[in-house]
């Protein structure tokens, strides 16, 4: 908080009054990063917007979330490690609810869309992404692997 206050040219107390604590600041930054994504999902054009078929939207949404995470690695890493209750955050709840609804629509016979949504989102935690990057995988490799994984999961729960 000292470094951020100094870079912003304000006192540390100003940051605490504005954001409450470090988690509040991280949430505000994460919210700013998610605003464009949320707008595209809720009101935008394909492939993220509501007019897109749910199967395609699942892939596009998860790729967009992964892209935001890759582009903001330090922020997301700090946010995910700062709070043990990250799954209780408004951001996570929004992503989970949207994904669960898309899965239910795309695969009405899925036994537990909520669990499937949690599993797909958990595959994008920063500790895993950082491990994959450290092992030599590129961001594009990770995005391709995620896409293949999501397709396999969605296909596996579809009736054959």
Encode the chain (160 residues) as per-residue pLDDT tens digits: 788 888 889 988 998 888 888 878 877 888 888 898 999 999 999 999 999 999 999 999 999 999 999 999 988 888 776 555 566 678 889 999 999 999 999 999 898 999 999 999 999 988 999 999 999 999 999 999 999 999 998 887 665 5
Q: Does residue 2 lie in a domain region?
A: no
CB 34 within 8 A of CB 91: yes
Give a yes or no: residue 63 inside a domain: yes
> Per the domain annotation, does 12 fall within a domain?
no
| Domain of residue 69, residue span | 23-157
Assess if residue 8 is contained within a domain: no
Task: Compute the distance between CA of residue 45 and CA of residue 51 in angstroms, rounded to an integer.
Answer: 7
Element (H, E) at 105: helix 90-106
Give the count of domains, the chain: 1
- pLDDT value of position 133: 96
> Does residue 14 belong to any structural domain of this protein?
no
Predicted local distance difference test score (pLDDT) of residue 144: 97
Cβ atoms of 106 and 58 within 8 Å: the answer is: yes
Query: Looking at the domain assignment, is residue 11 inside a domain?
Result: no
Measured CA distances, 139 to 35, 114, 119, 127 (Å): 22, 27, 20, 14
């Amino acid at each position: 908080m000292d470094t951020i206050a100094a870079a912003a040219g304000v006192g540390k107390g100003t940051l605490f009054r504005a954001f409450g604590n470090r988690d509040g600041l991280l949430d505000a930054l994460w919210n700013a990063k998610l605003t464009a994504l949320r707008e595209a999902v809720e009101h935008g054009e394909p492939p993220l917007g509501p007019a897109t078929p749910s199967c395609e939207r699942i892939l596009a949404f998860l790729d967009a979330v992964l892209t935001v995470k890759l582009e903001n690695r330090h922020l997301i890493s700090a946010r995910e490690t700062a709070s043990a209750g990250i799954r209780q955050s408004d951001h996570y709840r929004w992503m989970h609810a949207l994904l669960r609804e898309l899965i239910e629509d795309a695969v009405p016979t899925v036994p537990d869309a909520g669990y499937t949504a949690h599993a797909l989102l958990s595959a994008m935690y920063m500790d895993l992404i950082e491990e994959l990057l450290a092992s030599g995988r590129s961001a594009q490799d990770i995005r391709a692997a995620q896409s293949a994984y999501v397709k396999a999961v969605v296909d596996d729960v579809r009736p054959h």
